Amino acid sequence: MALSIDSDLCNGCGKCIEICPYGGVELKEGKAVLNDRCTACGVCIDTCKVEAISSDIEEKEIPDFSDFKGIWVFAEQRDGVSSRATFELLGLGQSLAQKLNQELSAVLLGYEVDHVIEELKAFGAQNIYLAQHKLLTHYQTNPYAKVISEIIAEHKPNIFLIGATTIGRDLAPRVAMRLSLGLTADCTELTVDPEDGSLLQTRPAFGGNVMATIKTLYSRPQMATVRPGVMEAKMADGPAQCRITKKDVSLLDKDRLIKILEVVREKKKGVSLADAKVIVAGGRGVGSEEGMESLFSLAEALGGEVAGTRMVVEEGWLPVESQVGQTGQTVRPELYIACGISGAIQHRAGMLGSRYVIAINRDERAPIFEVADWGIVGDLHEVVPTFTKAMMDRRAKQGT
């Protein structure tokens, strides 16, 4: 694809220059011209009010997908224990299914996993595609991708959602590739376009500096992986009515590329931020590893966990699993106390689901205050110990 600008039509307004993320357009003698940084992404075309920019690609006709129906969620489980991401996706799936008036299904693969069915029902699955086979006992890319691709080809869903977990990030592109589908990875928001009912898939782009919303125009199902912790797990409202659609699995030894000899679980070290009700998070403003001590004391007083920004992890003040944000964990505590954190978009991406946010920062213009329910402008080295003491005194009074 190549772009061209008709200089007779161009009025030199500069809108295309502002929107181009690559610096691929510039103004010469009052007219916009493309330079060698243009990637022909086409983002400028719609901003040109005088229609001076065109591409040599003819608009492809969008196929009729009316026979693709239903919202599907991959029911990830390990050793018969469902992942949290599964319930979060079912929570999201319930609202998408309601908006589109389509059925919500879970796709469950494994071996002797019948007990998982009840949980999937409770979280709103109206149908479960169930595939059981010894070779599906532990997750393996090839057998899982093969079986899921077959179920999709047979039943034609409209939307297929997978958690952006370690397994999901491996599985989703394999399925998309096998079926020549589009895939939007690591979404943080999914809604339905009220105009045409298609799925609007939002994810950070350009190094997290902008949020891009993507539509899958030319293939079905619309496939997306969703960051764990972003959506809310929600039990179904009414009594669970659920069909089971069994899939006959024919897997042969040659369908697996690896043979699992033994499963050795790594001992989980560090904190469990995913389940924490209170998180005390530190940023560069904490100043040092020793400075983190006061955050640990506050977390202890509140029965919470300590987390941090990428800066804090890079400084070595906290381990990497404590990082909250776009490239760290996504958390949803009841209370998030941000201490000495500026509130960069990449950090906010990981904590916006918190119920309440308290920000402590000595700069009253720090962006973290935009997302805080309560803001304290001050030195955290004074505020945090005062806060901790007040909590400890209160606990002592209550005898807890």
Ligand X SMILES: Cc1cc2nc3c(=O)[nH]c(=O)nc-3n(C[C@H](O)[C@H](O)[C@H](O)COP(=O)(O)OP(=O)(O)OC[C@H]3O[C@@H](n4cnc5c(N)ncnc54)[C@H](O)[C@@H]3O)c2cc1C
What is the contact surface with ligand X in residues (CB under 6 A)? Answer: 207-208, 283-285, 309-312, 323, 325-328, 340-342, 344, 346-347, 350, 360-363, 366, 379-381
Place of tokens 């908006």: 99
* Cβ-based neighbour number of residue 63 at 10 Å: 11
Of the two residues 16 and 337, which places its CB atom closer to ligand X in the complex? Answer: 337
Q: Measured from the CB atom, is 70 or 350 closer to ligand X?
A: 350
Contact 34, 10 (CB under 8 A): no
R_g (Cα) of the chain, nearest Å? 25
From the CB of 351, what's the least distance to ligand X, in Å? 9
Smallest separation (angstroms) from ligand X to the CB of 356? 19
Query: Residue 45 is encoded by which pair of tokens?
Result: 């075309």
Closest residue (Cβ) to ligand X?
Answer: 325
Q: Closest distance between ligand X and the C-beta of residue 241, in Å?
A: 41
Q: Which is nearer to ligand X, 179 or 360 (CB)?
A: 360
Q: Exposed, middle or buried, 345 (CB in 10 Å: 0-12/13-18/19+)? A: middle
- Whether the CB-CB separation of 98 and 130 falls below 8 Å is answered with no
CB nearer to ligand X: pick between 70 and 228 = 228
β-strands 104-110, 31-34 pairing: unpaired
Q: Which is nearer to ligand X, 105 or 165 (CB)?
A: 165
Smallest distance from the beta carbon of 207 to ligand X, in angstroms?
A: 4
3-state helix vs strand vs coil in the chain, percent to 5: 30, 25, 45
**Structure tokens given for 117:** 């069915």
DSSP string, 288-315: STTTHHHHHHHHHHHT-EEEE-HHHHHH
Distance CA 342, CA 133 (A): 50
Looking at beta carbons only, is 169 or 381 nearer to ligand X?
381
Shortest gap between Cβ of 317 and ligand X (angstroms)?
A: 10
We find the least distance from the C-beta atom of residue 371 to ligand X, in angstroms, to be 13
Determine phi and psi for 162, rounding to 5 degrees: -135, 140
Side-chain-facing half-sphere of 80: CA atoms under 13 Å: 7
CA separation for the pair 8, 32 (Å, rounded): 11
The nearer residue to ligand X, 122 or 352, going by C-beta atoms, is: 352
Closest contact distance (angstroms) between CB of 322 and ligand X is 10
Q: Smallest Cα–Cα separation from 157: which of 221, 210, 208, 106? A: 221
Angle (nearest 5°) at CA 43 between 41 and 47: 150
Least distance between ligand X and beta carbon 323 (Å): 6
Instruction: CB nearer to ligand X: give 220 or 347.
Output: 347
